[in-house]
Structure formats: structure tokens, C-alpha cells
Amino acid sequence: MEANIAYYCLHKLHKWPHEFLDLEIQERAYVVAAVQMKLEKDKREAQKMKKGKKR
């Protein structure tokens, strides 16, 4: 899981993985939760767009 978040940080947030991994546990947990929320939101929006194209 942390490797996936570190990858996301590198590509989307332009932060090196070691910067994420060097965070304190509470800060890392916050980043993980924020990234998960963003991914879920993006997934819902993609589903809405897909449904809109079918009509």
C-alpha cells in the first residue's frame, strides 16, 4: 500500500517517495486517506461520465 501511495506522490504530487516515507506516521496516514478519497472521487466521476455517454 505505501509503495502505491509513494508512486502516486511521485507522479501526481511531484514529491519523491522518500519524502512521503520520511513523514511521521500521522502525516503519512493523512496523505494515504487524502489520496484514497481523491481516487474514489475520480472513480465516481469516471462512472458518471461513462453513464452519460451511454445515453
| Measured distance CA(35)–CA(38) in Å, rounded | 5
Q: Mind listing the pLDDT tens digit for each residue in 4-50? A: 888 888 888 888 888 988 999 999 999 999 999 998 999 999 999 88
Cell of 34: 487524502
pLDDT of residue 25: 94
Counted domains in the chain? 1
| In the block, residue with C-alpha cell 500500500 | 1
Given a contact cutoff of 8 angstroms between Cβ atoms, the answer to whether 9 and 20 are in contact is yes
Instruction: Look at residue 41 in the predicted model and tell me its pLDDT.
Output: 95
Q: What is the predicted pLDDT for the residue at 55?
A: 59
Q: Rounded to 5 degrees, what angle do the CA atoms 29, 30, 31 make? A: 90
pTM: 0.75
Our CA angle for 13, 15, 21, nearest 5°, is 115
For 6, the domain range is 1-53
